[in-house]
Structure 1
């Protein structure tokens, strides 16, 4: 999803599937403190009708809708730890998920082959997205989409975005694709087997089974054709993979490692070969005319990956390096490719958000520009880490780790 997909959908699937819990009475959010939910809804109905939503649709969709306290609680929840690559991968690509995905590839081989021929998106990637998004349909989420989006739009923190999503959700209902009572999803409004947000649905959903509805909740032909249509529109390359694990030579220049989520340094495979980069098994990189960027999601001590154009399109689904590598790796494992050569360390201690803030503060005290000490390891913080590492004679992998924190403490 794509999508601003969604800053809100970077959470683990277990979070997305949490039920609506009983919570204390909802207090008015700061941005909406002077407007009740009913007043906001009355104004929104007028806007929706001006956008072509019929009064009958609004009556059906908003019948009994009230703000959902749990939605605002989840939206405002602050993380305590920074997700580590190995923990994320271990939760995302499990033996059980691999085995189930392989079985589903066989079960739906005819349908998936038809979709692949039409849209040029390999079946293994469609099933990998399915596995990562909802565990193959097991965890759609139990929030009423209209209620969740209404809550977030009224809350005001990201009002424009969620009002746009709410309008698209109403268009979906008005088109007859789904009844409001069946329109369930995540707390942030992501829906169905592959967790489309409403704007992705209205822009890319397809009636794959020809019944006149685009049912991404109950029709796998609709699910797979919609997902493939979305990826194809992005420019997915059906004759390429997502990337591969690689080995770096001794003395490698870590300044060539990308810092941004979308790799900012791209070279041809021939150029990477000339720099000494090899496939994970020690063999030469393929002699194909494509470009890739180098990423180190676990730092210099973890695996290195060359990632290609399709990796960038996975990020359009969910703008997370960890998610993109997990989708790619799961897709590979579904067709029998091996585990990563690099192994998880015995000590996988995660950094707490407060420790990231401490790293940022200590870097700032040493004269490195991290911006705000907000506990988020973004490009500005990574650039500051890289500059510090270079000045200290350390591998400049720009990676925030417990070892980096200890080094900064020693220098205080």
Structure 2
């Protein structure tokens, strides 16, 4: 099983911005120059890399004049998976644009995806859903060179330095392979890169050559990206034909203490306890065997939607181990194959906005005279948050800085 440490989805961070990242600016901007990297740390990294076969030319290019990126350590402390309400998370990552783009790409790459499905046993919709959640189908791969980000974290982060040092050495080894151009090794603040957003150590375990050119170029080759995603999911125990999960209704007799991804029972046991699908169909069937190990997850607690999940949910969870992340991949895959939205309302009176709504909100803010620090791109940055707070205060709304339908409606009314 291939597992990586929990690292924020770059696409999520880019879309949600500082609304959910505290004081850290998360708009689509590049690195912020800080002081030089600690010499002793870098010399130690170089020595270890040399011992592992990294050529001197790669080390010289990587570290000559390299400064810290003053922005990345803040991201380590403010990962959106751990701060963002589930309903905002899902609204940001699974919206109408993401679904439409995914369906278009399913058609565009149908022949390739058919080959990958036959080879790896992972459905095309699942492969494309992971691509969409991780990097918005390659549109949001990151503006930071991973060597600089990882060097900053390995030498200056307040925690997890050993982890990031290991990833830094691996990134240098990726550069040494010449499979991906050095200038294409851009990714997230944490060092995940390319369309699949693979950490460098994971690259060596799961990346594959999907186009037959002898390279695993997950930075610019769509076949390599999709093949690597399929391989990653397969290695994490994917079972062809088994749903990742289904939305269910729970009887009052099942409390939160009986839920959680590790509280596994056969599907038939849950059915016997009164769990049923929200669409009224029997729980057993429709690809769900009676004896399949399964669990109940509650992304927003007992008052929100409930899902019965299988071992295929675990394959998503190992990609990035947060419940709502794994659920978002599964939900997007369902939507790409024609499924409907989540049926059960989220336990909130706030209505989060999709990307189109966030762009309209920003456009109206600019018309009202606010400086949002750029164009209306749907990315919620610090200046947009400040403007939202002003609108909320003026209209007697809770002053949260969150981009919600109430704020948009106030702006539409010219208030």
Which band: TM-score by shorter chain?
0.7 to 0.9
1:18-167 alignment to 2 at 5 Å?
Answer: 18-22=28-32, 25-26=34-35, 37-77=38-78, 82-156=83-157, 157-167=159-169
Post-superposition CA distance 1:6-45 (Å, at most 9, x none): 345488231577322546x54x9xxxxxxx6222212221
CA separation of 1:77 and 1:255: change in aligned 2, threshold 3 A: closer
Q: Secondary structure at the match of 2:54?
A: coil
Post-superposition CA distance 1:250-278 (Å, at most 9, x none): 443443112xxxx1211111111110111
Name the structure 2 match of 1:277.
275
Question: Which whole-Å CA distance do the structure 1 matches of 2:81 and 2:234 have between them?
Answer: 37
Question: Which whole-Å CA distance do the structure 2 matches of 1:41 and 1:299 have between them?
Answer: 45
Post-superposition CA distance 1:64-100 (Å, at most 9, x none): 3221111223224487993212111111110111111
Question: Which whole-Å CA distance do the structure 1 matches of 2:251 and 2:226 have between them?
Answer: 41
Question: Which whole-Å CA distance do the structure 2 matches of 1:143 and 1:342 have between them?
Answer: 39
CA separation of 1:11 and 1:155: change in aligned 2, threshold 3 A: farther
Name the structure 1 match of 2:229.
227
Question: Which whole-Å CA distance do the structure 2 matches of 1:232 and 1:283 have between them?
Answer: 29
Instruction: After TM superposition, give the deviation of residue 105 of structure 1 in Å.
Output: 0.6
| Maintained 8 Å contact 1:17/1:142 | no
CA separation of 1:78 and 1:220: change in aligned 2, threshold 3 A: closer
Question: Which whole-Å CA distance do the structure 2 matches of 1:180 and 1:10 have between them?
Answer: 20
1:332-371 alignment to 2 at 5 Å?
Answer: 332-345=334-347, 347-348=349-350
Aligned pairs, number: 337
Matched, 1:311 2:313: yes
Question: Which whole-Å CA distance do the structure 2 matches of 1:8 and 1:325 have between them?
Answer: 15
Deviates more, 1:80-89 or 1:96-105: 80-89
1:195-274 alignment to 2 at 5 Å?
Answer: 195-258=197-260, 263-274=261-272
Question: Which whole-Å CA distance do the structure 2 matches of 1:144 and 1:59 have between them?
Answer: 15
Dislocated runs of 4+, deviation >6 Å: 78-81
Q: Secondary structure at the match of 1:301?
A: coil
Where structure 1 has 5 or more consecutive residues not aligned to the other structure, the ranges are 29-35, 351-412
Over aligned residues, Cα RMSD in angstroms? 2.4
